[in-house]
Amino acid sequence: MPPCAFQQLPTRGQVEEGLDNAQVTLTTGELSDHLQGILSASFPRSTPFSLLLLHVSQREHVLATPESARPYQHLRLHPPRSFLDQILVNARRVIRASDPILVHEGIGAIIIFPDVDQQGMYGIAERVYQSINLLQAETVIPPLQRITDILIGTGSYPEPAGSPEELLYYSGLIVRRLMLRPALSTQLRSTTSLASTAPAQSMPPIKGPSQENSNHGMPFMQLPSQLPGRLKQLIPHALALELRCAPVGRDHGRLTIAMTNPMNTKALDQLKEITGLTIFAVSCEEEALNTLLANKW
């Protein structure tokens, strides 16, 4: 799977580059060139004009241990081409059939909305976001095996953009971000597949207090000092003690669980059955988990 090749749309002033920046969405040179041609043919104009920019990428798998937990710039990869197709199926449900779509297979798309002003674009962007948000990492075809980011940017003329150049600038600013996390079982299958096919010498050594706690391929989290009440309500304290876990985050139908042994599939199945949510497990330090569990809820 090749690295994700992308670029910013032409911007006004200096904007920091990088997909992990919370302000900027991205496109490809091919899409940008097509868009420049459409704008040249569409301007000058006396009626409104809006754009919606989509960009999709996946994060590489990183082996993580407590000793190696530190900020890391993930290599970005292209998802399967079929995934963008499924995103666009959902997007098309809430836009006009006549709205043109420029697509770069598997990477991103630009949807053009002639005669739509800023207010109308707000409503369209929200409907597109809500429709795409119906997708689940486990139910798309094929199921996602990596954390996948979907970025949405919008721009409108004559407000707030007063020119085609400003329209591109505003389209490059993120208005919505979606993150799809595969279920733990999918991650484990993918990690196992990578380990079995890679040459032995290419696998970096795992450093940690013991091999038992190294948690190959599992994300590591520094635990907070307290848990929000809304998360405590999802798992009884007695069960958290029994399974040695703590709920640390929720994103719609996905619940992030910190565990000293995130490979305990029996415990994960029990948590999924009790909460009715997809479980995303992360590893954590045992001492920090004990501190959280010491306070009954």
Average pLDDT over residues 122-143: 89
| Beta pairing class for 278-283 and 254-259 | parallel
What letter represents residue 241's amino acid? L
42-65 pLDDT per residue, tens = 999 999 999 999 999 888 755 444
Is residue 103 included in any domain, yes or no?
yes
What letter represents residue 93's amino acid? R
Check whether 24 has a pLDDT greater than 80: no
Is residue 82 included in any domain, yes or no?
yes
Same domain, 36 and 173: yes
Of 251, 212, 208, the closest CA to residue 231 belongs to 251
Total domains in the chain come to 2
Is residue 100 included in any domain, yes or no?
yes
Note the pLDDT of residue 132: 93
Note the pLDDT of residue 62: 53
Neighbours of 118 (CB within 10 A): 17
User: For residues 38 and 195, what is the distance between their CA atoms, to the nearest angstrom?
Assistant: 46
Same domain, 67 and 142: yes
Note the pLDDT of residue 137: 84
Check whether 275 has a pLDDT greater than 60: yes
| Residue 254, domain CATH | 3.30.300.160
Please give the backbone phi and psi of residue 113, each rounded to the nearest 5 degrees, phi first.
-125, 85
Of 168, 164, 186, the closest CA to residue 279 belongs to 186
Same domain, 44 and 165: yes
64-87 pLDDT per residue, tens = 444 444 444 557 788 888 999 999
From its phi and psi, is residue 293 left (phi > 0), alpha (psi between -120 and 50) or beta?
A: alpha
203-258 pLDDT per residue, tens = 333 333 333 344 445 677 888 888 888 899 999 999 999 999 999 888 777 888 99
Of 181, 151, 162, the closest CA to residue 23 belongs to 151
Note the pLDDT of residue 68: 47
| Predicted structure pTM score | 0.58
How far from 134 is each of 42, 45, 230, CA to CA, in Å? 34, 36, 22
Residue 262 belongs to what domain range? 218-293
155-208 pLDDT per residue, tens = 999 999 999 999 998 898 889 999 898 865 444 444 444 444 444 333 333 333
